[in-house]
Amino acid sequence: MNTEKYIKTLIVKKPLKLDCGKTIKDFPIAYETYGSLNSKKDNAILVFHALTGDQFVTGINPVTNKEGWWSYAVGPDKAIDTNKYFVICSNVIGGCMGSYGPSHKDPDQKIFGTNFPVITINDMVNAQYNLLDHFGIEKLFSITGGSMGGMQVLQFISNFPDKSKTVIPIATASSHSAQNIAFNELGRQAITADSNWKDGNYTSKDTNPGKGLAVARMAAHITYLSKKGLQEKFGRKLQEREDLKFGFDADFQIESYLRYQGSVFVDRFDANSYLYITRAMDYFDLGKQFNGNLSEAFKNTNAKFFIISFTSDWLYPTQENKDIVIALNSIGADVGFVEVESDKGHDSFLLDVPDFLSALKNFLDKSYEEN
Amino acid sequence: MKNEFQVIADLIEKDKKVLDVGCADGTLMKFLKDNKNINIRGLEISKERVQECIAKGLTVIEGNAEKDLKQFPDKSFDYVILSQTLQAFLNPELVLDELLRVGKKAIVTIPNFGYWKVRFHLLFKGTMPITKTLPDEWYNTPNLHMCTIKDFFHFVKSKDIKIFKSLALNNLNSSIINQSNLGVKNLFADLGIFLIEK
């Protein structure tokens, strides 16, 4: 599939020194925008995507032909109203939707694979910062994102304290917990155990480690939902059959659902990118960058923070979001916080959760009025 | 706008930093923000009320005063307000200590259980009093620790808390409470408003 014609890229000429010690330059960042930048250039919102997201936030993703990952939240008259705001989102470096990543070629025209440098959340936001210069934006109106997107939000405002008026980290944490690292490691092991992985040197779509990647996705997908949500949606319902078949076919709907989720994911995602991005999440520990004092990460910013968590999110639970609130309060920062009631687990931020969407909309619109 | 809120607003100078503990739907916060340019934050336990505050463009943190005040540094606000909520905490003494730690000053208002209508209700009807400031039935009231203006007055004195101003509120009238008129105010006010410091 020729996807390149759908992808806008910015070639970053300036060298970027990565946390691993290597330096990259002349590398592409793939991005998409929605709405229009006003003449004062004060209505831009930089959205950061999560692990498996990409720059196609809303509308139909031209590469996958599916709805963009944040279609519930972003669009005309939606919470992030593109009639009003100019939304920018870019694919993270290490990703596989056009930004510099392991499926790109090295200077010797050989596909990087696992020779691509290990990327961190810090590297991702430093790369994306170039988009501000590209659009001539002095200060963003807001930065937001959920999950790994929220980590980028926190890192961005720490690195560039005067570059956004408002800051909205959603369903996230200032460092990855042991449980989260464990789940990511499970996914990575599934990929590397696939004999097609070949130390990352698979070359074509037909010979990629699709089975391993599908298992990684299936395991991760469970962590995005809640027990109650799963039970209500699937229970013990059988998949297109009257009774158990006494075999290992997908008897239950939940099995069939997970298999489907795994298979569609493989079509759009690169296994090596999955390794790189999960690694970046695991390495994230914003407090550690400031000798264990998370408050120090935010001491130079006057931005207005609004932090949102969800009751049934056990992957990035409310307490981990609250820890960020506490760090901000201890330095007298302007911070609001709400825990939204939802049975939809970590995925709540991607779904139609009216209390979440109205809180997001109200916070943005009221803050913009005060501009 | 409740008269109570007007009295509270009159106690606070312009441009101050204020925390409203149990800020409910943010009515008082909005009033202070709009009229006195006050940098105001709210702490509120109810998710619905938090949403209402956000819709008003107010900065509010969903949380429980008995657990979540401790995240604020000492004297990080010029004023901390607690409006008609002290009696609803499991441990009002601890909350009061926290208010005075976090705020340079605190404004605490209490529904007065010594108000004559309350006394008459119990005396003549023989049932738990229901008044404008105490609207709930005994079985669904959030109030655990009712007190009178006199009780609160003695309580803060015993804790070496300085009272800058204490006001008795009855409908639209507010008047100063002092040691000599305490008995009378305790009978005729349905609300006590105290500006205190430790």
pLDDT digits (tens, 9 = 90+) for A104-145: 999 899 999 999 999 999 999 999 999 999 999 999 999 999
pLDDT of A352 = 98
Predicted local confidence at residue A148, as pLDDT: 98
- For chain B, give percent helix, strand, coil, nearest 5: 40, 25, 35
Q: Is the pLDDT of residue B32 over 80?
A: yes
How many structural domains are present in chain A? 2
The C-alpha atoms of residue B194 and residue B151 are separated, in whole angstroms, by: 13
CATH number, domain containing residue A306: 3.40.50.1820
The residues, ordered by sequence, that sit 6+ positions from B11 with a Cβ below 8 Å of its Cβ are B79, B107, B165, B193, B195
Q: Say if residue A205's pLDDT is above 70.
A: no
- Considering the domain architecture, whether residues A97 and A237 belong to the same structural domain is answered as no
How far away is chain A from the Cα of B11, in angstroms, using its nearest Cα? 23
Nearest to B54 among A332, A339, A363 (CB): A363
Task: Give residue B172's pLDDT.
Answer: 81
Report, as an integer, the average pLDDT of A2-17: 91
A134 among known catalytic residues: no
Residues A212 and A305 grouped into a single domain: no
Q: Tell me: do A265 and A301 sit in the same domain.
A: no
CA distance B158 to A240: 74
Whether residue A85 is found in the same domain as residue A28: yes
Q: Chain A residues with CB inside 8 Å of B47's CB?
A: 338-341, 355
- On whether any CB of chain A is under 8 Å from the CB of B61, the answer is yes
Indicate the pLDDT class of residue B14, thresholds 50, 70 and 90.
very high
Which residue among A278, A306, A336 closes a domain? A278
Q: How far apart are CA B37 and CA B28, in angstroms?
A: 13
Cβ neighbour number for residue A301 with a 10 Å cutoff:
20
Interatomic CA distance for residues A73 and A349, integer angstroms: 9
B170 φ, ψ (degrees, to nearest 5): -135, 110
One domain, residues A11 and A155: yes
Give the residue among B100, B94, B76, B82 at the shortest CA–CA distance from B16: B76
Chain B closest-CA separation from residue A183 CA (Å)? 30
**Closest CA relative to residue A336, chosen from B50, B123, B145:** B50
Comparison of pLDDT for B133 and A318, the residue scoring more = A318
**C-alpha–C-alpha distance, residues A96 and A107, integer Å:** 18
Number of other residues whose CB lies within 10 A of the CB of residue A228: 12
Are residue A228 and residue A315 in the same domain, yes or no?
A: no
Note down the domain range covering A250: 181-278
Suggest the residue from A338, A339, A361, A367 to mutate for an interface test with chain B (most B CBs closer than 10 A): A338
Q: Are the C-beta atoms of A224 and A315 separated by less than 8 Å?
A: yes
The domain segmentation of chain B, as residue ranges, is 3-197
CB of A362 within 8 Å of any CB in chain B?
Answer: yes
Q: Could you say which of A90, A147, A164, A312 is catalytic?
A: A147
CA distance A170 to B70: 23
Other beta carbons within 10 angstroms of residue A83's beta carbon come to: 10
Question: Three-state secondary structure along A28-46?
Answer: EEEEEEECCCCCCCCCEEE
CA separation for the pair B21, B108 (Å, rounded): 10
Last residue of a domain, one of A254, A278, A302: A278
pLDDT surpassing 90 at residue B1: no
Q: What is the pLDDT of residue B92?
A: 96
**Which class for A292: exposed (0-12), middle (13-18), buried (19 or more C-beta within 10 A)?**
exposed
Q: Using CB atoms and an 8 Å cut-off, which of residues 10-49 of chain B contact chain A?
A: 17, 41, 47
* Whether A12 and A131 share a structural domain: yes
Residue A203: its pLDDT value, please? 77
Of the candidates B50, B56, B72, which has its C-beta nearest A338's C-beta? B50
CA distance B32 to B36: 5
List, for residues A158-202, the tens digit of each pLDDT value.
999 999 999 999 999 999 999 999 999 999 999 999 999 999 999
Share of chain A above pLDDT 90, in %: 96
Please give the residue of chain A at the shortest CA–CA distance from B18.
A332
Any A CB within 8 A of B63 CB: yes
What's the rounded mean pLDDT across residues A33-43?
98
pLDDT by residue (tens digit) across A249-295?
Answer: 999 999 999 999 999 999 999 999 999 999 999 999 999 999 999 99
Q: What are phi and psi of B31, to 5 degrees?
A: -60, -45
Alpha helices in A164-317 (DSSP H): 178-192, 210-224, 227-233, 253-268, 271-283
Stretch A17-45: mean pLDDT: 98
pLDDT at B22 over 70: yes
**What does the mean pLDDT of chain B come to?**
95
- Distance, in Å, from the CA atom of A335 to the CA atom of A361, rounded to the nearest integer, reads 16
Q: What percent of chain A has pLDDT over 70?
A: 98
Kindly give, in sequence order, each residue whose CB lies less than 8 Å from that of residue B147, ignoring residues fewer than 6 positions away: B87, B110, B113, B155
Q: Give Cα separations from A8 to A15, A86, A134 (angstroms).
A: 20, 16, 13
Asked if A319 and A141 touch (Cβ cutoff 8 Å), the reply is no
Q: What are the distances in angstroms from CA A350 to CA A96, A170, A252, B159? A: 20, 10, 25, 51
Average pLDDT score over residue span B116-131: 94
Examine the domain organization and report whether A172 and A185 are in the same domain.
no
Q: Are residues A167 and A288 in the same domain?
A: yes
Q: How far is CA A268 from CA A59, A64, A233, A264, B86, in A?
A: 17, 7, 25, 7, 56
**Interhelix angle A121-128/A148-159, nearest 10 degrees:** 70
Catalytic residue among A81, A194, A251, A313: A313
Residues in contact with A135: Cβ distance below 8 Å, sequence separation at least 6, in sequence order:
A37, A41, A44, A88
Partner B contacted by A310 (CB < 8 A): no
Residue range B143-163: mean pLDDT, rounded? 96
The backbone torsions φ and ψ at residue A168, rounded to the nearest 5 degrees and listed phi first, read -125, 85
Question: Model confidence over B54-110: pLDDT tens digits?
Answer: 999 999 999 999 999 999 999 999 999 999 999 999 999 999 999 999 999 999 999
Q: Are residues A258 and A363 in the same domain?
A: no
- Where does the pLDDT of residue A1 fall: very low under 50, low under 70, confident under 90, or very high at 90 and above? very low
Tell whether A165 and A298 lie within a shared domain.
yes
CATH number at residue A209: 1.10.1740.110
Residue A147 annotated in active site: yes
Q: Which residues contact B82 (CB under 8 A, 6 or more apart)?
A: B21, B22, B65, B95, B99, B106, B107, B108, B109
Question: pLDDT band for position A4 (50/70/90)?
Answer: confident
Active site residue A346: yes
Percent above pLDDT 90 for chain B:
93
CATH of domain B3-197: 3.40.50.150
Within this chain, do residues A197 and A80 fall inside the same structural domain, yes or no? no
**The domain boundary residue, chosen from A252, A278, A304:** A278
